[in-house]
A and B are shown apart, each in its own frame.
Chain A
Amino acid sequence: MPDIASILFSGALGLLVIGLGGLLLSRHAYRVLLALVIAEAGANLMLVIAGYRWDAVAPILSGDMAPVAMVDPVPQAMVLTAIVIGVGVQALALTMIIRIKRTYGTLDMVQIKKLMEKDFDRIASASTSASKSRGKA
Chain B
Amino acid sequence: MNQYVILTVVLPLLAAFLLPSAGRFSFSIARLIAPLVLLFSTYLLIDVFISNTEPFVLHIGDFIAPQGIAFYIDELALIMALAVQIFALLLWPWKAPGSDTNSSASVKQLSLMLLLVSSANGLAFSGDLFNLYVFYELLAVATYGLIAYNPNNDSGFDTGFDTGFAAAFRYLIVSATGSVLALVGISLIYFLTGTLNFAHLATLQTTLYNPIGLTAFILILVGFGVKAELFPVNSWVPEVYSATSRRLSALLAGVISKLAVLVIIKVMLFIFPYDEARQFVLILGLAGVIVGELSALKANDFTRMISWSSVGQLGLVFVAFSIPGKAGIIAGLAVMFHHMLTKPALFLIAEKWGGNFSLLNGQGRKTWLLSAAFVIIALSIIGVPPLPGFWAKFLLLTGLADNTAYLAMIVILIMTVIEAFYLFRVFNHLYGTETDTSGNILRHSFLDQLTVSVLTVLLLVSVVELETVNIMLNSMTDQLTDLNGYIARVLGSSGAGI
Contact = CB atoms under 8 A, between A and B. Distances in A.
A binds B: yes
Interface of A: 16, 19-20, 23, 29, 32-33, 36, 39-40, 42-44, 46-47, 49-51, 72, 74-75, 78, 81-82, 85, 88-89, 92-93, 96-97, 99-100, 103-104, 109, 112-113, 115-116, 119-120, 122-128, 130-137
Given A93-B176, A100-B169, A133-B361, A125 B163 contact: no
Contacts of A127: 154-155, 354-356, 359
A22 to B, nearest CB: 11
B265 interface: no
A19 B181 CA distance: 11
Interface stretch (B319-327, B367-375, B436-444): B436-444
B342 interface: no
A126 B154 CA distance: 10
A109 B356 CA distance: 27
B356 A135 contact: yes
Nearest first, the 6 A-B pairs at minimum CB distance are A127-B355, A47-B187, A50-B191, A126-B155, A128-B356, A133-B358
A81 B134 contact: yes
Q: How large is the interface on B (under 10, 10 to 19, 20 to 34, 35 or more residues)?
A: 35 or more
Nearest to A85: B137
Contacts of A88: 141
Contacts of B304: 120
A115 B159 CA distance: 11
A61 to B, nearest CB: 15
Provide the main secondary structure of the chain A interface.
helix
Contact of A103 (B156, B162, B179, B190): B162
Interface of B: 130, 133-134, 137, 140-141, 144-145, 148, 152, 154-157, 159-163, 165-170, 172-173, 176-177, 179-181, 183-184, 186-188, 190-191, 194, 239, 242-243, 300-301, 303-304, 354-356, 358-359, 361, 436-438, 440
A88 B161 CA distance: 22
17 contacts: A20-B177, A33-B173, A36-B173, A36-B177, A47-B183, A75-B190, A81-B134, A85-B179, A100-B166, A119-B162, A122-B155, A122-B157, A124-B355, A125-B356, A131-B436, A131-B438, A131-B440
Contacts of A136: 300, 356, 358
Contacts of A81: 130, 134
B148 to A, nearest CB: 6
Contacts of A119: 157, 159, 162-163
B172 A92 contact: yes
Contacts of B239: 116, 120
A93 B172 contact: yes
